[in-house]
Amino acid sequence: MGHTAKKPLEEQVGSEFRALKARVEEQERARLEWEAEQRRLREEWERQEAERRRLKAEREERERREWESAACAASIKAVHAARAEHFGTALEQWKAAGEIRVLCVALDEAAATSDDAVEAEKLREWTAWGKTDADRLDPP
């Protein structure tokens, strides 16, 4: 009789043990699932963060290139403006020097054909001064 009384106890302990083991296994499976989900969420967050950083870096690089391009265009404009102004000045000086030299030739001719020595000397002084000024404006 004792043997039959013992068997149900072993079965009872065995079934409780199996239930406990099943609960532990279920908890372990749930823990692993939770950890996997946390890892997936962290990886997703890191991926999004990396994408945000990449987009930010791209935007900053684009803005830097646009700024450099604008600065470059502005400096080219400034150089062109300075050159145009300088060219305009050079042209004016060249014209003026040319006109002065034409006048000097006329003054030289007038001095050469003048009967008045004082007047001829005065004309040659004007010519000397004119040639010096023309050379200063537009060096030969």
Distance CA 36, CA 105 (A): 101
- Look up residue 4 and give its amino acid: T
Label residue 16 by pLDDT band (50, 70, 90): confident
Label residue 70 by pLDDT band (50, 70, 90): confident
- Residue 72's pLDDT is 86
Q: Give the range of the structural domain holding residue 51, as residue numbers without chain letter.
A: 2-137
Indicate whether 6 pLDDT > 70. Answer: no
- Residue 90's pLDDT is 85
Model confidence over 75-86: pLDDT tens digits?
888 888 888 888
For the whole model, what pTM was predicted? 0.43
Give exposure, 46-63, as e/b (b: 16+ Cβ within 10 Å): eeeeeeeeeeeeeeeeee
Count of structural domains within the chain: 1
